[in-house]
Amino acid sequence: MHVSINKRKLQRILIVLFALLFCQQVNAQKPKVLNEPNHDDKAIHFGFCIGLNTMDFIIQNSYTSFFKDSLFADVSKANPGFHIQIVSNYRLSENLDLRFLPGISFGQRDVNYFRNNVLVDEKHKLESNFLEFPFLVKYKSKRLNNFRPYVISGANFRVDMAKTFSEDDEVYLDLKRFDLAYELGVGIDFYLPYFKFTTEIKYSYGFFNMLERRNTSHPEFQNAIDRLNSSIFMFSFYFE
């Protein structure tokens, strides 16, 4: 279920991307006074980012466990979270930038279990407090008066600082500390009189299986799952 939903969301992002890039072919607009005309000519500039996110999982359930115990795991709902990042932007060329965006993000995912299509009482809340270290390449279209659409892509290394349990804690489902994600997004730079303001939508997909297998008193919950891959949507505001 989650794979098809994320594919549809990714298709919508790509449609928006093509529409934004098509805008650069529009030449009918009258020239306007350019704000910050030399902003993108700087070799290095800095800024900050704040935004909202929804954390999800792409769950691959264990067929062996399903046929044996009829236990099926699914994420119950998308919980809102937020993130803060510091922007370091290095100009590679007129249309390319290399961006390093270290920061922190907070979120939560609720995993529910079903047996024979009936909800099991236990609901597992998995909180994550990530230290993030994304390296991204930003491809910008031609500037159109005071705005400039772009596409961005790269990798993000994450460390989950929420893992502070001891081995004596009663945990039914647990996550690994480290993850590496591929990120793809689109956005628009708006050039204001004194700074550049940016809105961006980005999708992040984790490569690693985040399921941490431990000795617990309820092994059936973790045995019901083969893989857990992170899936995060982010809506961000940049000030540069």
Lowest-pLDDT choice from 33-37, 49-53, 105-109: 33-37
Q: Is the pLDDT of residue 168 over 70?
A: no
Q: Which residues contact 85 (CB under 8 A, 6 or more apart)?
A: 48, 49, 50, 51, 101, 102, 103, 132, 134, 236
3-state SS class at 222 = helix
> When comparing pLDDT for 221 and 63, which is higher?
221
Q: How far is CA 56 from CA 15, 41, 60, in A?
A: 22, 38, 13
The predicted pLDDT at position 126 comes to 83
Q: Can you tell me the distance from the alpha carbon of 240 to that of 227, in angstroms, rounded to the nearest whole number?
A: 39
Q: How far is CA 176 from CA 71, 130, 180, in A?
A: 22, 12, 11
Q: What are phi and psi of 219, to 5 degrees?
A: -65, -20
pTM: predicted TM-score of the whole model, two decimal places: 0.79
Structure token pair of residue 100: 């390093």
> When comparing pLDDT for 1 and 214, which is higher?
214
Task: Please report where in the chains the tokens 């691959």 appear, as a residue.
Answer: 60
- Dihedral sign, Cα of residue 15, residue 17, residue 21, residue 23: positive
**Mean pLDDT (whole number) for 42-64:** 89
Structure token pair of residue 190: 């708006």
The predicted pLDDT at position 1 comes to 42
The predicted pLDDT at position 45 comes to 94
Instruction: Quickly state the pLDDT bin for 16 (edges 50, 70, 90).
Output: low
Element (H, E) at 21: helix 2-22
Instruction: Quickly state the pLDDT bin for 174 (edges 50, 70, 90).
Output: confident
Burial class (CB in 10 A: 0-12, 13-18, 19+), 228: buried
Rg (CA), the chain: 21
CATH class of 2-26+50-239: mainly beta
Share of the chain above pLDDT 90, in %: 48
Q: Give per-residue pLDDT as tens, 110-150.
A: 888 887 777 776 667 888 899 999 999 999 999 989 999 99
- Count other Cβ atoms within 10 Å, centred on residue 201: 19
